[in-house]
Amino acid sequence: MLTKATSILSDPLVRATLRQAWEDSEPGPAGGHEEGGFILRDSGGNLRVERWPRGQQDSITVPAHRNCRISDQDIVATFHTHPNTGSDYVQEPSETDKRAVRNDPHMKVACYEGEFVISARTIYRIEPTGQVSEIAQTKDYFAEG
């Protein structure tokens, strides 16, 4: 069954942008940095991605996004990478990641599908409630595009 979240991920532009963000984050045992962005839908239903400023090794700052909008476009999802694969780093969404999504007052609208966290093995989805699910295997997702 194709959900709204998987429909967003299957968009060719979204897939290409997430692949580029993953590569830009310099994945490996150490030395990578988080990349992220907003996935937006315009009034015509088209998706586009607006990337955030580069993050740190294990954090990223989300730009202002009042009322789940950037300019005149709805934010339908957000994403960020977990590029560091060393034993000191967590690949799955952290408690901080889950709280950030769950407690963000500006993301409490019906069009927001949650945040995708891209790790070396798995792409996770943090639902607006803070619940986490595995949505795709990273290598398979990037190979499909």
Q: Where are the domains of the chain?
A: 4-54+63-144
- 88's CB contacts (< 8 A; 6+ apart) are 30
The domain defined by 4-54+63-144 folds into Cytidine Deaminase; domain 2 (3.40.140)
CA proximity to 62, closest of 75, 73, 74: 75
Q: Is 16 helix (H, G, I), strand (E, B) or coil?
A: helix
Please report, in tens digits, the pLDDT of each residue of the chain (145 residues total): 457 888 999 999 999 999 999 999 999 998 899 999 999 999 899 999 999 999 999 899 999 999 999 988 999 999 999 999 888 888 999 999 999 999 999 999 999 999 999 999 999 999 999 999 999 999 999 997 6
Q: Which pLDDT score is estimated for 87?
A: 85
Q: Which pLDDT score is estimated for 145?
A: 60
Q: Which pLDDT score is estimated for 61?
A: 95
Find the helix or strand (DSSP H, E) in which 137 lies.
strand 132-137
- The rounded distance, in Å, linking the Cα atoms of 116 and 132 is 10
Calculate Rg over the CA atoms of the chain. 14
Q: Is the pTM of this model over 0.85?
A: yes
110: tokens are: 């019906």
